[in-house]
Structure 1
Amino acid sequence: MGERKGTNKYYPPDYNPNAGGLNKFLGTHALRERARKVHLGIIIIRFEMPYNIWCDGCKNHIGMGVRYNAEKKKVGMYYSTPVYEFRMKCHLCDNHFVIVTDPANLDYVIKTGARRQENRWDPKDNEQVVPEDRDTSKRLFDDAMFKLEHGENDRSAAGKVNPTMQRLLQRNDSAWKDDFSANCALRAQFRAKKKELKAKEHKDKILLNKSCLDIGLVAEHEDDINMASLLSLRPSISAAEKQKKDRQKALMLPIQPVKALTREDIGISTISVKSSSDCNSSNNDVLRPIKTFHSDCSNIKTSSKKLKISTLVCADYNSSSSSSSNED
């Protein structure tokens, strides 16, 4: 803006050429507000962040390429190259950070107020083309043997990657030799994908209108589909029905735990007698169990003491002849 205003070819009527120029005649600087600290050796420039940093004031991340109004001043020399310092204020807090140029390493160094995000790597690890450093260039110029060895290493490296380069070139020629067909196939894939997205969007819109919701739906997951299919196989009950069922189950439980009764607790025993037919048989050890009846089973109560219950024993005889013989 300052340069445009200084070269707009407009001169006031009282302009004096002996003043040495329009800016001197008007008493202004060509940089206008950017030169308000020029008497201190500082000018205001538009500085672009060279890499990602972390602000020490607000601990926020500032990405590479963010621009600031920075105060630029000269702080030293590296041989014949000046070293500049840039001071700027963070746009998220009141912290200031200072960045200094590093001509020796062709880089910028953070002096105060921030720290660099360490995401640097060695280009050789990614098989990138690395320019020769200063020492290597000097040896290539002075040392003939080193130049010969360096050339042999370059040729061997080129021979190793040559098959890969040939395959890539053949793949490129086969895929893009007919660029019209390749473009048609690619556009057909895009159209099919676009139809699928529109169908899914229409289906989601119907579901949202049915549920009276205004939210964003995420894509279905296979685990969710399997879980929903398993839940559909068993009937689900509401929270009120589940609470009612639990209350009914609680009412049916006894207040005190009931002890299980055994045959000894209620005085039941098995009585076996020998019948006449069994006595006449060759096997005298055969016993026939006799049924036992309780006279009053309704009065049985749970207690730690054994209950005395009168029993009625009935004997079963096979024939009347045997009974008459016994009476005699």
Structure 2
Amino acid sequence: MFLAKSGKGADKMGALLRDREVKKEYVARVKGEFPLGDIVCEEPLLTVAPKVALNRVKPSGKPAKTAFKRISYDGETSIVRCRPFTGRTHQIRVHLQYLGHPIANDPLYSNEWVWGPELGKNGAGDDEIIAERLGHIGRSRPAGTWINPVIDESDFKGEMLTGTKCEVCETDLFSDPSANDLDLWLHALTYSANDKSWSYATPFPEWALEPNRQYMELALEEAKKCEGTETAFSVGALLVKDGEILSTGYSRELPGNTHAEQCALEKYYEKTGTREIPEGTVIYTTMEPCSERLSGNLPCTDRILDTNIQTVFVGVLEPDTFVANNVGKQKLTDAGIHYIHIPGYEKACLAAATKKP
């Protein structure tokens, strides 16, 4: 939602939105292992049952286009960046469902009781049956989702009619809502003008960070293994693919003035006998990867760019203690790498980084 300070501002913003001159990016947490690479869905969308807000992919629908790119996969759910090029109702939710990866806690599009075991993948399901069942949700049956399903009446918890009325106005009363009624793992991440005249970004929501916190905490444990020094930071790093830890590293673990990311990568190369990193691998590091090495060694940012790693999670930005103006974040994001800060570990990461001998 945009709130304009003046009529002129409202007209300008309205024109930008109408002419599709605003770039919008969202983040979602979806069912299963979302495919790697740049995934684009251009299936047309139609509102087939307005009363229950049901929208579906239909040849007779309006043109719609959404681009998706996976950020990470934890073995159960994927974090996905979503960019809609059009603005159809429920566009991201319906396109994700059509691809077979509905938002994991979506009570409308990931409810197996409504959609059946395919959950609407590739347009599966009869419109009339789906609309009829959706009409029961919140009335005679509570909402269920893929991540938190309602199997039978023992799971009937959440908003639904109680069969009682308000003593004052005789309005039908509902039971208290559950998590399925109150949250949706879809979040507006960034809005920006195509001409780069303005931009607005929000932090990653906790539900997108939560699956990744355990790995940042393990990276922090690696950082604590470093011997303290007055001349360099102590950092920990992990390589993770699909919830499996491939390699770990900490500063100066290997001979020489080695950095944590460098150690994790070199240990993996040594273990596997190849200098190829599997697609879908994510790196976690307690501190922003360096963009310059005073020793002349290859900076960690460049080491990451030499791999097919597409996501970097960091605990804290690098202070200017040894190298001023580290541009690791800028280099990575300019290359299209997902660079994501996991907040809450800054104090611990800096304490480990500056440990004295």
More RCO (CA 8 Å, sep 6+): 2
Return the TM-score normalized by structure 2.
0.18
Structure showing greater radius of gyration is 1
Larger relative helix fraction: 1
